[in-house]
């Protein structure tokens, strides 16, 4: 699958089969995540890679939207190291770019995934922090559920020319 096809056909997948995600596929997804651009190349991201069923189940209860983790064979907790941040606020964008890369790469190799926001909601951040034991310098950004999709949603064309503003508003 080429890059444009992967971007245009990737959709959120919330239900997964029982087949585990191989170490090789997990590494492809994580390498793609870490290939994302970041402000001044800070690369503030860290990833807690979760395969333990009990931990995935606990993570699935950290936000109202995290339920897909209960059945996912692989979960990612995407965090930023505050010590690596010279320009406050850009870590949020950096982590978002890494997550999008991860999701597109997962789709390109036949996996499905869904992005579950955590930041900036303090109770969500605190719950995720407790479940995976994040040190104080780490800020949880998002969760990602990954696995082999039970069903692949069809592509959605979201292009809207009314949102284009050539040269000026």
In a domain, 47, yes or no: yes
Q: Which residue has the tokens 């979760």?
A: 50
CATH number of residue 123's parent domain: 3.40.109.10
In a domain, 103, yes or no: yes
User: What percent of the chain is modeled with pLDDT above 90?
Assistant: 95
Work out how many domains the chain is built from and give that number: 1
Q: Range of 15's domain?
A: 3-151
CA 166 to chain CA mean position, Å = 32
In a domain, 140, yes or no: yes
In a domain, 163, yes or no: no
CA distance 113 to 95: 16
In a domain, 156, yes or no: no
How open is the CA angle 30-137-95, to the nearest 5 degrees?
35
CA distance 95 to 6: 20
In a domain, 158, yes or no: no
pLDDT digits (tens, 9 = 90+) for 63-121: 999 999 999 999 999 999 999 888 989 999 999 999 999 999 999 999 999 999 999 99
């Amino acid at each position: 699958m080429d890059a444009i096809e992967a971007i245009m056909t990737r959709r959120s997948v919330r239900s997964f089969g029982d087949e585990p995600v191989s170490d090789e596929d997990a590494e492809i997804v994580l390498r793609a995540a870490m290939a994302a651009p970041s402000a001044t190349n800070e690369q503030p991201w860290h990833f807690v890679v979760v395969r333990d069923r009990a931990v995935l189940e606990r993570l699935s209860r950290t936000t109202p939207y995290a339920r897909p983790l209960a059945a996912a064979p692989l979960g990612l907790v995407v965090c930023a190291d505050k010590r690596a941040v010279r320009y406050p606020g850009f870590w949020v964008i950096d982590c978002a770019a890494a997550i999008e890369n991860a999701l597109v790469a997962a789709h390109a190799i036949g996996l499905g995934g869904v992005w579950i926001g955590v930041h900036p909601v303090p109770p969500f951040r605190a719950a995720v922090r407790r479940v995976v034991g994040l040190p104080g310098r780490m800020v949880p950004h998002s969760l990602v559920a990954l696995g082999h999709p039970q069903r692949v949603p069809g592509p959605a064309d979201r292009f809207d020319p009314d949102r284009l503003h050539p040269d000026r508003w």
